[in-house]
Amino acid sequence: MGLKSRSAYLVVLLALLAAACSSEGGGGGGGSSGEGGKVTARVQLSWIPDCQFAGYLMADKKGYYSEEGLDVKLLPGGPNVNPQQQVATGSADMTIAKVAALYAARAQGLPMKGIAQFDQRSSFPLVAFKESGVRSPTDLKQKRVGIWYDGDEYEVLAMLAKFGLDPKKDVTLFEQGFTMDPFLDHQYPVAMVTTFNELNVLYLSGVTEDQLTVLNPSDYGITIPHGALLASEQWLAGNHKAAVSFVRATLKGWNYAFANVAETAAVCAASSKAAGGEAATGELEKLQEMMVKSIQPLQLPEGFAKEDQGKIDVGLYENVAQIVYRFGLVKEPVDVAASFDATVWQEATT
């Protein structure tokens, strides 16, 4: 679910150069015609197709993409799929990722830009049972903290630094797995979760909200949001109108999903099963309902204007750029302005 390592990006870059020299290669600047003469748009999901991508799945299911003249292919992701590589090599035209992934890719010379930003808050908090004594980030001192690496660690590093904690001396960070069973068995006191998936798995397992402390970096002024829609610069150059149409239809899909949770959960559960996914609790459809409800406050947090849904916040992107440079994900300061195209969302919402 996180970014791939920097060494992996070097492999991606070589693949990109090979693709550029090839006469085949998909996703060209002029776009391709899909069914009925529609513009084809291939979207690489960053994980299996579940309600993390409800807006995309419902826009497809309800025909919103087709109404915009698009033939959209939603490509399943998973632990063995590098979404940025798929875009860089022309196997996909767009993907969904963290903003940090955009900067890491561009730092390696992979030509892609952000065209919309759906999540406005962090969806990767830390959780601890209150009985462990953890109530705030300062209580992480001398604690074992399970996290995901490959890019998901940077919010944690920034949060620790803000509270004067040295991740090498004051906290024991380690790579946790994707199952929450060890945390539930109290094998370690602090774990990383996503607000839409693993946190809900804990609740479905019988954990109550009042038993947990949830440390969301966004509550402390630190946000590296997921939900960034990234497009190949080559594809975008020849398909600007299609990108606008895609964002417009996706916004419609998200709002339909938020207003029709049960229907959306059924669609997502079917998509997840078809891709081989299943809930750890066996309550797949219930989990999907919880996911949709958890994503809405990520996109539309308290005080956030509804008309700005999907908008790229320049200040937020600049803050992410500072974090990834400070903590070494990128080696040079980020050219934030060059990393996104604000006109796509603007045209999609006017």
21-42 pLDDT, tens per residue? 333 333 444 456 666 789 999 9
Residue 336 CB: number of other CB atoms within 10 A?
A: 18
What is the structure's pLDDT at 275?
Answer: 80
In a domain, 1, yes or no: no
**215 with 253, same domain?**
no
**181 with 247, same domain?**
no
Task: For residue range 205-238, list pLDDT tens digits in order.
Answer: 999 999 999 999 999 999 999 999 999 999 999 9
What is the structure's pLDDT at 280?
Answer: 45
Which CATH number belongs to the domain containing residue 156 in this structure?
3.40.190.10
CB 27 within 8 A of CB 92: yes
Both tokens of residue 225? Answer: 């949001």
**268 with 310, same domain?**
yes
**175 with 33, same domain?**
no
Q: Beta strand 70-75 with 94-97: parallel, antiparallel or unpaired?
A: unpaired
Residue 93 CB: number of other CB atoms within 10 A?
A: 32
What is the structure's pLDDT at 33?
Answer: 63
**235 with 168, same domain?**
no
Where a domain ends, among 169, 185, 220? 220
Instruction: Name the amino acid, one letter, at 297.
Output: P
**251 with 185, same domain?**
no
Where a domain ends, among 190, 220, 250? 220
Task: For residue range 43-56, list pLDDT tens digits in order.
Answer: 999 999 999 999 99
What is the structure's pLDDT at 37?
Answer: 86
Whole-angstrom CA distances from 125 to 145, 196, 342 are 12, 11, 28
pLDDT-based confidence at residue 295 (cuts at 50, 70, 90):
very high
What is the structure's pLDDT at 282?
Answer: 52
- The pLDDT of 128-138, averaged and rounded, is 98
114 strand-pairing partners: 230, 340
What is the structure's pLDDT at 25?
Answer: 37
Domain count along the chain: 2
| Whether the predicted pLDDT of 284 surpasses 90 | no
Smallest Cα–Cα separation from 215: which of 139, 303, 291, 327? 139
150-181 b/e (C-beta count within 10 Å ≥ 16 → b): ebbbbbbbbbbeeeebebeeebebeebeeebe
226 vs 206: CA distance, rounded Å: 27
Phi-psi group of 60: left, alpha or beta (phi > 0 → left; psi -120 to 50 → alpha; rest → beta): alpha
Where a domain ends, among 170, 186, 220? 220
Both tokens of residue 266? Answer: 């059924």
173 vs 157: CA distance, rounded Å: 10
**91 with 232, same domain?**
yes
277 vs 79: CA distance, rounded Å: 12
Both tokens of residue 204? Answer: 């479905």
| Whether the predicted pLDDT of 300 surpasses 50 | yes
- The pLDDT of 177-181, averaged and rounded, is 93
Instruction: Name the amino acid, one letter, at 113.
Output: K
Task: State percent of the chain over pLDDT 70.
Answer: 88
Residues in the chain: 350
In a domain, 255, yes or no: yes
**216 with 259, same domain?**
no
Look over the chain and give the mean of its residue pLDDT values, rounded to a whole number: 90
CB 12 within 8 A of CB 88: yes
The values of phi and psi at residue 33, to 5°, are -90, 130
- The pLDDT of 260-276, averaged and rounded, is 92
For residue 27, give its domain range: 6-119+225-348
What is the structure's pLDDT at 329?
Answer: 97
